[in-house]
Amino acid sequence: MKYDALIPVIRKLAIEAGAKIMEIYNADDFDVKVKSDDSPVTAADEAADALISAGLRAAFPEMMLVTEEQSASHGLTGDTFLIVDPLDGTKEFINRRGDFTVNIALVEGGVPTRGVVYAPAKERMFFTLADGTSVEETGPFDAAAMGEVSPIRVAESDNDALMVVASKSHRDQATDDYINKYSVKDSKSAGSSLKFCLVATGEADLYPRVGRTMEWDTAAGHAVLLGAGGKVVRFDDHTPLTYGKEGYANPFFIAYAANVTLKEA
């Protein structure tokens, strides 16, 4: 995979998918269906998936593609592939809270090495450059031409005064119990893969996830965080979170700035 060819394509597709999503988001009403796993899906998920999948298959026909909305892709196996969540944070979308994202990532050897996270309602976009470093682009966003970008970097965290970010829709007692092991200055809630990006920009130090996620939920944010100097490890043994697992389900994990001293689960 040539990274200088990949990055413009995934950035462009994320912006175009975001425009489709916002058309539906700003409509008076939209239908919500329930998938076999009881998770919600909307026309926005499906439209964004169709656009992104077609674009990736046209640009990179030889590359394995895994996407949330195409269940047939969930049976594919390999450790190098493109992975897509066309609308991460569907519950945030349905409730019109704005914390939803378009996620596209490249996984190589089980590691997410490049990715884009676009939050169209928040007008924030984060992605890795061809060299693997992460940036935030400031809008307005033009699919045809990259705008001004600024390098992002994790915070030089103070372990006596950490900023923690946790899920807006899935926060529970187990999450709070783990957070309480740290010296926390403040905490905030956010939806979707934005939590990885808040750690990547230094707006938060720590994001623990004690709950179910899938690889398409996390890969793009994980890539952005790695490119900003952060880390993502399993909750149980603090080994790196890897990709290409059977069924694409993640264990619990912790995303954090590099000099946060992790507590045991």
Please state the rounded mean pLDDT for residues 42-57.
Answer: 94
Is 90 labelled as part of a ligand binding site? yes
Is residue 53 within 8 A of residue 70, CB to CB? The reply is yes
Distance (Å, whole) CA 221 – CA 197:
6
- Residue 262 CB-density burial (10 A; 0-12 exposed, 13-18 middle, 19+ buried): middle
Please state the rounded mean pLDDT for residues 103-116.
Answer: 98
Joined together, the tokens standing for residue 45 give 């998920």
Query: Is the pLDDT reported for residue 1 higher than 70?
Result: yes
Is 88 labelled as part of a ligand binding site? yes
Q: 38 Cβ partners below 8 Å, 6+ apart?
A: none
Is 89 labelled as part of a ligand binding site? yes
Joined together, the tokens standing for residue 203 give 């707006």
pLDDT of residue 93: 87
Please state the rounded mean pLDDT for residues 135-152.
Answer: 95
The percentage of residues in the chain with a pLDDT greater than 70, rounded to a whole number, is 97
Mean pLDDT rounded to a whole number for the chain:
94
Query: Is the pLDDT reported for residue 39 higher than 80?
Result: no
What values do phi and psi take at 189, rounded to 5?
A: -110, 145
Sheet containing 65-67: order of strands: 65-67, 81-88, 101-108, 111-119, 124-128, 134-137, 149-151
pLDDT of residue 170: 67
pLDDT of residue 192: 84
Encode pLDDT of 180-219 as tens digits: 999 999 999 898 899 999 999 999 999 999 999 999 999 9
Is 68 labelled as part of a ligand binding site? yes
Q: Which of 126, 129, 91 is nearest to 221 (CA)?
A: 126
Is 176 labelled as part of a ligand binding site? no
Is 139 labelled as part of a ligand binding site? no
Query: Is the pLDDT reported for residue 41 higher than 80?
Result: no
pLDDT of residue 18: 97
> Picking from 46-55, 85-94, 117-126, 248-257, which range would have the lowest pLDDT averaged per residue?
85-94
pLDDT of residue 38: 63
Encode pLDDT of 152-162 as tens digits: 999 999 999 99
> Picking from 87-91, 125-129, 230-234, which range would have the lowest pLDDT averaged per residue?
87-91
Please state the rounded mean pLDDT for residues 32-47.
Answer: 77
Query: Does the predicted model carry a pTM greater than 0.85?
Result: yes
Please report how the helices 43-59 and 3-25 are oriented relative to each other, as an axis angle in degrees rounded to 10.
Answer: 160
Please state the rounded mean pLDDT for residues 148-174.
Answer: 91
Is 87 labelled as part of a ligand binding site? yes
pLDDT of residue 223: 98
Which domains, ranges and CATH numbers included, belong to the chain? 3-151 (3.30.540.10), 162-256 (3.40.190.80)
Please state the rounded mean pLDDT for residues 124-147.
Answer: 96
Is residue 258 within 8 A of residue 230, CB to CB? The reply is yes
Please state the rounded mean pLDDT for residues 102-115.
Answer: 98
pLDDT of residue 35: 72
Note the residue count of the chain: 265
34: left (phi over 0), alpha (psi -120 to 50) or beta: beta
What values do phi and psi take at 14, rounded to 5?
A: -65, -45
Query: Is the pLDDT reported for residue 144 higher than 70?
Result: yes
